[in-house]
């Protein structure tokens, strides 16, 4: 919870207490459920390419606590929490879209050339890391992110059917694969390894 003054802290503490009570009547069990819920939120945001996943998870729980403090009745706490998480995700996407506009001309400076070399290294490392995956995992991760909007949704449904799993299981598998690839690429680029 953010600490932004005595009055807000008291209000936030009350909301936090109500959130814990909504999770479980027993304090210790409520704390454990809170931590599990926070971990799920972090994974939710990570799987949607949010860099500040922990910050977003905390913001989501803080918003839920404020709603509870304001007297909002919540029937199913987990559903409500992930509804707030989806709204926060949409807000972040709109903010990011505003910042993603590129200038009309992109000057080539020594700095931009360094970035190009860094990008080439990262791409080489990605190829290397993809090559270390099983053919099934490589196909899954490459096809999971292909397409745009409706094509992507249809493609994911086709993948799930091909593997005989539901969409949530496919999503979790893709998220874990992506995390594994990110770790591999990060390790590779730190070593300065350039594999062609």
Residue 100 has what pLDDT? 52
Contact of 122 with 174, CB cutoff 8 Å: no
Residue 102 has what pLDDT? 46
Same domain, 94 and 126: no
The domain containing residue 165 runs over which residues? 111-190
Low-confidence spans in the chain with pLDDT less than 50? 1-11, 102-106, 108, 110, 112-113, 193-196
Instruction: Establish if 24 belongs to a structural domain.
Output: yes
Residue 9 has what pLDDT? 37
Instruction: Name every residue whose Cβ is closer than 8 Å to that of residue 41 and which is 6 or more positions away in sequence.
Output: 53, 56, 57, 60, 61, 81, 82, 85
Instruction: Establish if 87 belongs to a structural domain.
Output: yes
Predicted TM-score (pTM) above 0.75: no
pLDDT in tens, 44-87: 888 887 778 889 999 999 999 999 988 888 888 888 999 999 99
Same domain, 157 and 81: no
Same domain, 26 and 61: yes
- From 67, 99, 131, give the residue that closes a domain: 99
């Amino acid at each position: 919870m953010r600490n932004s003054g005595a009055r807000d802290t008291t209000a936030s503490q009350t909301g936090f207490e109500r959130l814990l009570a909504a999770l479980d009547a027993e304090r210790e069990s409520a704390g454990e459920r809170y931590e599990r819920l926070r971990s799920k939120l972090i994974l939710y945001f990570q799987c949607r390419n949010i860099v500040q996943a922990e910050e977003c998870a905390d913001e989501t729980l803080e918003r839920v606590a404020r709603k509870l403090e304001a007297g909002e009745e919540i029937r199913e706490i987990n559903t409500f929490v992930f509804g707030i998480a989806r709204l926060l995700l949409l807000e972040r996407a709109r903010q990011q879209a505003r910042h993603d506009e590129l200038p009309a001309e992109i000057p080539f400076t020594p700095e931009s050339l360094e970035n190009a070399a860094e990008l080439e290294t990262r791409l080489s490392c990605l190829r290397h890391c993809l090559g270390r995956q099983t053919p099934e995992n490589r196909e899954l991760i490459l096809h999971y992110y292909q397409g745009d909007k409706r094509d992507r949704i249809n493609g994911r449904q086709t993948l799930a059917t091909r593997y005989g799993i539901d969409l949530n299981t496919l999503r979790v598998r893709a998220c874990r694969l992506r995390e594994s690839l990110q770790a591999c690429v990060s390790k590779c680029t730190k070593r300065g390894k350039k594999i062609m």
